[in-house]
Structure 1
Amino acid sequence: MKILCVCGMGFGSSLMLKMTADKVIKKKGLKATVEATDIGTAGSTPVDLILTNNEFASQLKGGKSEVRAVVNVASEEEVEKAINDFLESQ
């Protein structure tokens, strides 16, 4: 599984979200890679799941990748729920 964490510039909240997603993936024992990027790059990057905030989620929905919004990028529980919801939808 490939996960993309997205924010406006690709090096602020997306990096924090990536670190949180990495912790969740390790804890769950999933085989996945996680990258952080900016909103401009996200739409053209082929991934399974995009994690981002509500504003960018609405802009990215409708593409080839599943999109899940995360309010608190440091919340392992919220990121885990987003990943679990994605896995259950497959």
Structure 2
Amino acid sequence: MLCRYSISVLGLERVKKFPDKYILDQWKKTLKRKHNSIESSHDLSHLELIKKQYNEMCKKFYNIAKVVAAFEELTETVRRVLGLGYVVGTKDLYNG
């Protein structure tokens, strides 16, 4: 896995192509967030703090989900902890 710094250096060296497996999904410009639960506020500094914390949490949970999803037992444990005690088939996971 390449870090952002490595990718920046490759860009400076005019390397235009390398395998997608080296790019994390959250680094891709094509990643679309399907939600925005940040409420409006008149206090912009408070709103920025909430937005920053929210984005940090989304990134952490996304990374955790990527790892946990590879292991059925861990997935079930996380579902129980989060109160999602149902079993979902693979087809359901990828088709919404």
Global fold match (TM > 0.5): no
- Larger fraction in helix: 2
TM-score of the pair, normalised by structure 2: 0.27
Considering Cα pairs closer than 8 Å and 6+ residues apart, tell me whether 1 or 2 has the greater RCO: 1
Larger Rg: 2
TM-score of the pair, normalised by structure 1: 0.28
